[in-house]
């Protein structure tokens, strides 16, 4: 960006200052008390996203059969609402009162109440009670979490997983649950799957074929991958499958992220993650999601915290497996709880910038452009000729246009810095700026980078191109 002139930063807005947003963040695992929300509320609200994912914690809410204590969750929901955030709730996990498998499991993770009619009916009573209790405060309910994963849908310890059987079981279970949600609140929406591995279409097909497609309003999916080049195509494939059952079902990306350290546990553990790579991946994936027509997309997560997906109460070490997916960092105490000073990472400011730029009614739009390949001394030859260039147009909340672009090289194995040239039609040479979405820095272009085209439009010559998204802002 050295040939450009920095002229300031993009203004940012808190959640209470934003009318709506298709961006969200995760506030998960509070049912397992893994971090102190009071130290995170204000930081999360300042990001400017609106949607915030919570997990309901059946085990924490119903400790005595038939007695529901929502006080812990009331406090969280009401605080988030007061800050202008919009909580939505993932209904999960098991309960040792009813399911023996859940008794030794930390948080009863992955222990579905399907072993007997007593278990299922207890679950449905809990669902109805939860939805009735939060009527008017929460309207979107997700049914279970990642049931297509080995840790999250089990019948017994160390079993050989039958994914076709599990998919059909989940379809029936989620159908009952969706009906219970709508019985408790006619205005509530039911969301299925929280699907891990978006390309697992066989699982989706098996579950939908049980009749689930008739009772759900949304399907959510998660993506944990070190390569984002196929993300848009995978979303289109899922969309096509869902359309074959019910085109009225909308898609939501409910949980996706990467770590900021290489020594973390959980998804893609051991990969060479860094704060810089986390920031780039956050921007690239969330922009792709928004352009792909999702209802909204949610980053995982607000906080660094334990993963604890296979934790056992008798084995403390089994749930002392820290994940560094958060946009806010923390230290950890002897019990694995996120403690110390909660500190914003570079990814925090990137998400804040993106949320501010694409706030409100910002929507994908077609901006006609053509690439040119001009001589470029910056790279000792010519502008970028790679086919991995990504360019997405958006109409912003104020009616102005933006082109978001980057070179989609593999984040873990490559970096890129070069130049690109565009002929952009339907736009004028009037205060065009470039925004570095990593931190919101705004730059003006020198005169020799901009040329009015006689037949309309503007030519942008040898402008910066990196592997992290930049935004061309047309005033």
Q: What gap in Å lies between CA 263 and CA 274, rounded to an integer?
A: 10
* Residue 408 and residue 261 share a domain: no
Q: Does the residue 10 lie in any domain?
A: no
The reply to whether 395 and 295 lie within a common domain is no
3 state DSSP class of 225: coil
Cβ atoms within 10 Å of 243's Cβ, excluding its own: 11
Measure the CA–CA gap between 89 and 144, rounded to whole angstroms: 10
What's the confidence (pLDDT) of residue 76? 98
Residues 337 and 425 in one domain: no
**Using CA atoms, how far apart are residues 14 and 352, in angstroms rounded to an integer?**
9
| Same domain (yes/no): 322, 377 | no
* E strands, 10-111, in order: 23-26, 51-55, 86-91
Whether 425 is in a domain gets the answer yes
Domains: count for the chain: 2
Q: How far apart are CA 376 and CA 382, in angstroms?
A: 5
Query: Taking residues 438-466, what's their average pLDDT?
Result: 96
Give the DSSP H or E segment for 299: strand 297-299
Task: Tell me, yes or no, whether 465 and 417 share the same domain.
Answer: yes
Averaged pLDDT of the chain: 96
Q: Considering 357, 381, 415, which residue would you say is the last residue of a domain?
A: 357
| Whether residue 386 has pLDDT greater than 90 | yes
pLDDT, one tens digit per residue, over 24-55 is 999 999 999 999 999 999 999 999 999 999 99
**Predicted confidence (pLDDT) per residue in 116-151, tens digit:** 999 999 999 999 999 999 999 999 999 999 999 989
Evaluate if residue 87 carries a pLDDT over 80. Answer: yes
User: Is pLDDT above 70 for 158?
Assistant: no
Residue percentage of the chain with pLDDT more than 70: 100
CA angle 467, 471, 475 (to 5 degrees): 165
CA 362, 364, 366, 372: dihedral to nearest 10 degrees?
Answer: 100
* DSSP, residue by residue, 241-290: HHHHH-TT-EEEEEEE---SSTT--STTTTS---HHHHHHHHHHHHHHHH
What is the extent of the structural domain holding 78? 21-357
State whether 114 and 135 are in the same domain: yes
Give the span between the Cα atoms of 26 and 87, in whole angstroms.
Answer: 10
Question: How far apart are the C-alpha atoms of 188 and 182, rounded to whole Å?
Answer: 6
Residue 462 lies in a domain: yes
**Span 304-363, pLDDT tens digits:** 999 988 899 999 989 999 999 999 999 999 999 999 999 999 999 999 999 999 999 999
Same domain as 334, residue 380: no
* CA atoms of 261 and 271, how far apart (whole Å): 8
On whether residue 404 sits in a domain, the answer given is yes
């Amino acid at each position: 960006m050295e040939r450009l002139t920095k002229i300031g930063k993009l203004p940012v807005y808190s959640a209470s200052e934003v009318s709506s947003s298709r961006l969200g963040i995760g506030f998960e695992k509070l049912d397992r008390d893994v971090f102190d929300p009071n130290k995170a509320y204000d930081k999360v609200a300042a990001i400017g996203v609106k949607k915030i994912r919570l997990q309901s914690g059946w085990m924490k809410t119903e400790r005595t059969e038939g007695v529901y204590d929502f006080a812990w969750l009331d406090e969280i929901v009401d605080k988030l609402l007061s800050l202008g955030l919009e909580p939505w709730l993932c209904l999960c996990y098991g309960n040792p009162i009813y399911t023996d498998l859940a008794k030794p499991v930390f948080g009863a993770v992955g222990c579905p109440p399907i072993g007997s009619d007593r278990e299922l009916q207890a679950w449905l009573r809990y669902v109805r009670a939860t939805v009735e209790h939060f009527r008017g405060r929460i309207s979107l309910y997700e049914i279970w979490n990642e049931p297509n994963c080995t840790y999250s849908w089990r019948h017994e310890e160390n079993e050989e997983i039958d994914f076709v059987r599990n998919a059909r079981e989940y379809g029936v279970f989620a159908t009952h649950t969706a009906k219970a949600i709508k019985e408790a609140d006619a205005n509530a929406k039911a969301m299925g799957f929280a699907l891990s591995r978006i390309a697992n279409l066989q699982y989706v097909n098996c579950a939908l074929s049980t009749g689930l497609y008739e009772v759900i309003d949304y399907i959510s999916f998660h993506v944990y991958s070190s390569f984002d080049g196929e993300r848009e195509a995978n979303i289109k494939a899922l969309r096509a499958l869902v359309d074959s059952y019910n085109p009225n079902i909308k898609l939501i990306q409910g949980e996706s992220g990467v770590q900021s350290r290489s020594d973390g546990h959980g998804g893609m553990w051991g990969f060479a993650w860094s704060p810089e790579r986390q920031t780039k991946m956050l921007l690239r994936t969330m922009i792709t999601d928004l352009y792909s027509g999702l209802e909204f997309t949610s980053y995982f997560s607000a906080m660094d915290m334990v993963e604890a997906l296979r934790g056992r109460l008798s084995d403390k070490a089994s749930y002392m497996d820290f994940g560094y997916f958060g946009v806010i960092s923390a230290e950890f105490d002897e019990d694995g709880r996120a403690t110390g000073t909660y500190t914003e990472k570079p990814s925090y400011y990137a998400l804040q910038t993106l949320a501010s730029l694409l706030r409100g009614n910002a929507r994908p739009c077609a901006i006609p452009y053509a690439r040119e390949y001009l001589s470029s001394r910056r790279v000792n030859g010519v502008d970028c000729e790679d086919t991995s260039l990504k360019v997405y147009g958006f109409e912003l909340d104020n009616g102005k246009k933006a082109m978001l672009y980057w070179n989609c090289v593999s984040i873990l194995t490559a970096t890129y810095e070069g130049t690109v040239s565009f002929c952009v039609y339907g736009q004028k040479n009037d205060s065009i700026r470039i925004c570095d979405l990593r931190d919101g820095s705004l730059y003006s272009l020198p005169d020799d980078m901009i040329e009015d085209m006689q037949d309309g439009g503007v030519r942008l010559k040898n402008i910066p191109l990196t592997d992290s998204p930049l935004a061309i802002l047309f005033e």
